[in-house]
Structure 1
Amino acid sequence: MVNPRSSSHRLPRSRFLFPSSISGYVLILLAFASIVFLFSHRQIAEVDRSLPSEDSAALQEQLWGSSGYGYRPCVKPTRKYGVPPKSNHYLTVKSNGGLNQMRTGISDMVAVARLMNATLVIPQLDKRSFWQDTSTFSDIFDESHFIKALEGDLHIVRELPKEMELAPRARKHVTSWSGASYYEEMSRLWKDNQVIHVPKSDSRLANNDLPIDIQRLRCRAMYHALRFSNPIESLGKKLVDRLKEHGPYIALHLRYEKDMLAFTGCTLGLNDMESEELRIMRENTNHWKVKDINSTEQRMGGFCPLTPKEVGIFLNAMGYSSSTWIYIAAGEIYGGETYLSNLRSRFPNLVFKETLATREELKDFANHASQTAAIDYIISVESDVFVPSYTGNMARAVEGHRRFLGHRKTINPDRKGLVELFDMIDRGELEEDAKLSSLVTEMHKYRQGAPRKRYGPLPGSKGRDRFRTEESFYENPFPECICLANKH
């Protein structure tokens, strides 16, 4: 073995053979160990990189994924369903309430007209509700499409024929949640009248125990015939595309609005002046029957809309990151930025239609609350996740539409359960950490829009009140309008 550092002076070999051999072995071992370490470190790094990727995919599926579970819409009539005969009886309707109350009411009246073999006159819309909207039917809906889409179900005319203006007519206040037999009996009014006027359209038809063809007709009316007018559809889809450019988004129906807080009597976090303002509004609204409300009891019972701060805590605990885009589908938030600031600090990408659209794009919809609500409706139905902070008409209608379209993810907060957790946080008994996240996600495992049959009346409810406690047909049109893919 040649020593690279050898010189002309050679030392006795026997004296340095053992030490030099040890040094060589040590160097070899060190080199081998380094190679093993580097190889192992590389393997560990590769494993570390792959795990987050797999975990990330699973997390993304958990947060955004939804499945139709093999179900699809089924609204085709049965073989027993025939073409309606020509009728010289006319049904006129005054739709009451806000946008979604009117939409469900109109769909009900389509079914009622079929049951009574009547020609339906395009309904008049409510112009005296809280929103004071002067919009006509054709301002909000595609009138021609509505008539054509239902031509195989019933006859529809834009207005009462002139020869009918002096015809005998009846004004009928229809009993809420009535069944098919009720309307068949009501048909006796045709003996003495050619026109029947129904001054209210909401909840005029039962949720359950109706013929399958009548239920499917309600779905055809609601999800196919009642298409929004072209200007609304166009802007709604344009705003959806703008949101989608940033990835998946949440549509949050934040019902933290003046009318809802006054109606429910919920005042958590409000100052004395605001609480009094809401009390006065409730007192002066005649058709709100309950005047004295204990706000604390309301909240503990889960009857209050979540506050913007509570929504922020909830979405954080569900696993949504601060970069998530959230569209606020609502009117003016009570207290404005004062109460929105906490939610915005958690989710900076918080947008309204007013920030997503230009002033020019919105100018034609100004002062028309039902039309702007229709834009919110489109964006909510098309969202990757829909979250309502309160179960109102809008929330029920959007959830039902999303179920109909393939059980798109809709997270319904368990308000009663969440209030207990929020109060524990306020008392310092619980932190906003992994434990809270585990509790919240477990609480909502089965509240994300998976297929299920419609709920019946609450146990113990009696008389006609039991109908009030049933789940709305339009909140969940399963099973009549939603079938497995291999069934009709």
Structure 2
Amino acid sequence: MVNQRGHHHLQSSRHRKSSFFSISLYVILIFALSIFTFMLYSKDALEDEYGMPLLRVEKPSINKLLDGQLWQTPSSLGLRQCVKPTSKYRATPVSEHYMTVKTNGGLNQMRTGVTDMVAVARIMNATLVIPQLDKSSFWQDSSTFSNIFDEPHFIKSLGKDVRIVKEIPKELESLPRARKHFSSWAGLGYYEEMTVLWKEYQVIHVVKSDSRLANNDLPLDIQRLRCRALYHALRFSPSIESLGKKLVERLRSRAQRYIALHLRYEKDMLSFTGCTYGLTVAESEELRIMREKTSHWKVKNINSTEQREAGLCPLTPKEVGIFLKALGYPPSTLIYLAAGEIYGGDTHLSELTSRFPNIVSEEMLASTEELKDFSNHASAALDYIVSIESDIFVPSYSGNMARAVEGHRRFLGHRKTINPDRKSLVQLFDKMEAGQLEESSLSPPVLQLHRKRFGGPRRRGSGPPGIKGRVRLRLEESFYQNPFPECICNS
């Protein structure tokens, strides 16, 4: 009996000691956790008199998550480039018929125009003479094809598709030429009919090159030829490519990631569209006079308010700043300004830089010496390269540059491109101006509006329903803005 009582007493004693130890350990753990929590959320209390942190504290993981979402590239859903010819495609025969081309418009308008002419030359079995670049447009640029593009590469890489020569043979220079203004957005049948010109002429001169080919309903091999020509053959000259690469490297040395902003708030665009919102009376009048004097701009009287409400105006620098802030990008974001001279200079640009001061341009990244040999078109080529390589591309207006860059980024793997819904944004901005909406409350509706406008995979639009004929062709989404499905596919 004594031994049993002693045995039970010993067990009871051990049990009390174990319980005491467990409780003590639990209290210590709770105390340690409390200290850690206090230190994590009391950063201000952990700074010395100079404001320097005494303890390095990791940011909460939620910030990293949000940051990742801001810069995340849309999923390509397994889609990839597909530009190889089909099994039915044959190398083009040597042709004694020649096609000369005079391009028109800005750099990207000329690039897509040249690409169209490659495809047209293939359809009409013509030898393409290296095109002449536009020298009489708003830019007044004297650049030649070889100044901007890698001419030998262009000729060689398309050797199996179209015969390309630098100049027309001497014996043909004095012969009469068929001067032709090909129809806009023309299809295969139209150009097959145009081959009748070869019965009377050996040389056809094409007066304009922009939008000479339909966006849709063309043979697959012609569409893929357009992609090979634009994305592989028509690359910029070695000097432009080299400096463009340097600009990207210098941006990367400043920040891990950057946004390329194509701010189309330039004099020619504002005058052409008749958009005067936010401008002074004198500035508005200057734009009206410019529009009146530009003969090839057919529309002269434009209601600026109606244009803006319909989403047909470039976003102003201030509106772009509000938009990017509403999307969640912090003021420290590095932004490359891919644009010409901003109308009104710093007066208007300051409305953007006040929100995002970390804005740079090619003039800020390259020296005067590096840029001295680059004219207007070459300068635009640098902007194009930097925009293609950016983490995010944001156009303030859907012009030729915006469409070309978006299409190229889709082709390269659906790199993130944010297309502002200008019509809906204007409604929000006007509510802010009227005091019906605070800027701090703008983020939810802006994010909702743009949840499907980040450059993810989608098939090219075929135009508004209920519209037929040539008007529909003009309103179809550009092939060069979205070469899916012909040049982007599953295999």
Q: Same fold (TM over 0.5)?
A: yes
Higher mean Cα deviation, 192-201 or 37-46? 37-46
1:320 maps to a residue whose letter is Y
Task: State the Cα distance separating 1:61 from its structure 2 match.
Answer: 2.3
- The answer to whether the aligner puts 1:120 opposite 2:113 as a matched pair is no
Q: Paired residue for 1:92, among 70, 89, 100? A: 100
Q: Paired residue for 1:403, among 398, 401, 410? A: 410
Q: What is the percentage of aligned positions where both structures have the same residue?
A: 67
In structure 1, what is the equivalent of residue 315 of structure 2? 306
Aligned positions, number: 455
Distance 2:303 2:459 in 1: 34
Higher mean Cα deviation, 66-75 or 442-451? 66-75
Task: State the Cα distance separating 1:53 from its structure 2 match.
Answer: 4.1
Where does 1:1-150 land on structure 2 (aligned, <5 Å)? Answer: 35=28, 37-42=30-35, 44=37, 52-66=59-73, 67-150=75-158
Task: State the Cα distance separating 1:178 from its structure 2 match.
Answer: 0.5
In structure 1, what is the equivalent of residue 370 of structure 2? 361
- The answer to whether the aligner puts 1:210 opposite 2:218 as a matched pair is yes
TM-score, with length taken from structure 1: 0.90
Distance 1:106 1:125 in 2: 9
2:318 maps to a residue whose letter is K
Where does 1:265-276 land on structure 2 (aligned, <5 Å)? Answer: 265-276=274-285
In structure 2, what is the equivalent of residue 177 of structure 1? 185
Q: Is the 8 A contact 1:101 1:393 kept in 2?
A: yes
Where does 1:407-422 land on structure 2 (aligned, <5 Å)? Answer: 407-422=414-429
In structure 2, what is the equivalent of residue 429 of structure 1? 436
Q: Secondary structure of 1:255's match?
A: coil
1:218 maps to a residue whose letter is R
Return 5+ residue gaps in structure 1 as ranges.
1-27
Q: Paired residue for 1:288, among 297, 310, 319? A: 297
Q: Paired residue for 1:337, among 338, 341, 346? A: 346
- The answer to whether the aligner puts 1:443 opposite 2:449 as a matched pair is yes
Distance 1:53 1:359 in 2: 44
Distance 2:248 2:79 in 1: 25
The Cα offsets for residues 104-129 of structure 1, whole Å up to 9 and x where unpaired, read as 00000000000001100000010000
Distance 1:41 1:209 in 2: 68
Q: Paired residue for 2:228, among 220, 231, 243? A: 220
In structure 2, what is the equivalent of residue 23 of structure 1? none
Task: State the Cα distance separating 1:50 from its structure 2 match.
Answer: 10
Q: Is the 8 A contact 1:168 1:192 kept in 2?
A: no
Q: Paired residue for 1:377, among 384, 391, 395? A: 384
2:429 maps to a residue whose letter is F
Q: Secondary structure of 1:69's match?
A: coil
Task: State the Cα distance separating 1:44 from its structure 2 match.
Answer: 4.2
In structure 1, what is the equivalent of residue 175 of structure 2? 167
Distance 2:450 2:38 in 1: 35
Task: State the Cα distance separating 1:461 from its structure 2 match.
Answer: 2.2
Q: Secondary structure of 2:332's match?
A: coil
Distance 1:33 1:220 in 2: 69
The Cα offsets for residues 375-432 of structure 1, whole Å up to 9 and x where unpaired, read as 0000001000000000000000000000000000000000011111111111122112
- The answer to whether the aligner puts 1:348 opposite 2:376 as a matched pair is no
Distance 2:211 2:369 in 1: 37
Q: Secondary structure of 1:457's match?
A: coil
Q: Which runs of 4+ in 1 moved over 6 A?
A: 30-34, 45-51
TM-score, with length taken from structure 2: 0.90
- The answer to whether the aligner puts 1:394 opposite 2:387 as a matched pair is no
In structure 2, what is the equivalent of residue 235 of structure 1? 243
Distance 2:445 2:216 in 1: 35
1:105 maps to a residue whose letter is G
Q: Is the 8 A contact 1:111 1:218 kept in 2?
A: yes
Q: Paired residue for 2:266, among 229, 246, 257? A: 257
Distance 1:185 1:329 in 2: 42
Task: State the Cα distance separating 1:36 from its structure 2 match.
Answer: 5.2
Distance 2:87 2:57 in 1: 55
The Cα offsets for residues 246-290 of structure 1, whole Å up to 9 and x where unpaired, read as 110000000000001101111111111000000000111111111
- The answer to whether the aligner puts 1:196 opposite 2:189 as a matched pair is no
1:424 maps to a residue whose letter is K
Task: State the Cα distance separating 1:39 from its structure 2 match.
Answer: 2.5
Cα separation, partners in 2 of 1:271 and 1:45, compared to 1, 3 Å:
same
Return 5+ residue gaps in structure 2 as ranges.
1-20, 42-55
Q: Paired residue for 1:278, among 272, 275, 287? A: 287
1:308 maps to a residue whose letter is P
Q: Is the 8 A contact 1:119 1:155 kept in 2?
A: yes
